[in-house]
Structure 1
Amino acid sequence: MKKLLLIFTVIICSCTTSNEEQDKKEIRALMKHQASDWSRHDLDCFMLGYWKSDSLKFQGRNGITYGWKKTLEKYKKSYPYAEDSGKLKFKIRTISKIESNSYYVMGEYNLTRETGKLDGIFMVIFKKIKGEWKIIADTSC
């Protein structure tokens, strides 16, 4: 009986680790896709990684913005042309599980553009909503 319990425990642990690794892989892929969208100055596609809700929260240098639409409008106002948005790269430092369907990601962003380089740090919270990973909160500065 003890052997059976041990085998069951090992199987459960390996499935949890496997699921966590898959979640992290999907989150990394989404962020890579977002960086590509941003670098093409496709802010609408970039925003597909965010939760399309009035409850989305974005904290930047100038305060907090509530809602998907207002966040998109702010991006479009701040980065109206391709030369303003430049080329985006993320350097992910850590992805940590919060609960079964939520992770936080901490790292750095590098924006190379004609008007000058812009570097900073971020922490985003991802939640799996209707089978898709979405950013529900973003703090970037």
Structure 2
Amino acid sequence: MKINITLIIILLTLTAFAQNKKNLGPYYSEKDEKEILKVMENQVKAWNDGNMEGYMEGYWKSDSLRFVAKVGVQYGWNLTLDMYKKNYNDKEGMGKLSLKAVALEFINKNIVFMIGRWQVEGKKNAGGHYTQIWKKIKGKWVITTDHTS
């Protein structure tokens, strides 16, 4: 009985620790986490300044970028930029963006899976969740896949 109670306490402690660390995975690097969060911070600043191209700097500038939304999957940095510009056509329409990483998992040294929340306040209040795959390409962390709902 004592062994079962001890085992339960250990498992609960490990579970609490794992949840506290956002399931960071065995390849976690504090430096890389800070770099990713800095990219997100730069995206928010660019968005809130009305700079859509600056916001898009957080995305992989490639025809292989994947963006998944209600309408389906679209490929390419330029198509994603065009989609954003169509939905948020000026600074006033863009409103104020906030992003929050809820969970991170470092799949390997160059790939991170993220779950987060987004919120836009302004003319069109909107919000939801996203899942993203981030890759370190040429020494820079960028979003290569984004599923936003």
TM-score (norm 1): 0.83
Partner of 1:70: 79
* CA distance 1:54–1:48, shift in 2 (3 Å): same
Residues 29-67 of structure 1: per-residue CA shift (max 9 Å, x gap): 110110111111101011111111110000112221100
Partner of 1:89: 98
Partner of 2:111: 102
Same amino acid, percent of matched pairs: 37
Count of residue pairs brought into register by the alignment: 124
2:143 maps to 1:122: no
Secondary structure of the 2:68 match is strand
Query: Cα RMSD between the aligned structures?
Result: 1.5
Separation in 2, partners of 1:19, 1:91:
18
Secondary structure of the 2:64 match is coil
Q: Which 5+ residue runs of structure 2 have no aligned equivalent?
A: 1-25
Q: Which 5+ residue runs of structure 1 have no aligned equivalent?
A: 1-16
Once the two structures are TM-superposed, the CA of residue 118 in structure 1 deviates from its matched residue by 0.6
Q: Which consecutive aligned stretches of 4+ in structure 1 deviate over 6 angstroms post-superposition?
A: none
TM-score (norm 2): 0.79
Residues 63-115 of structure 1: per-residue CA shift (max 9 Å, x gap): 211000111111111111112111100121111101110101111001001x2
**Equivalent AA in structure 2 for residue 121 of structure 1:** H
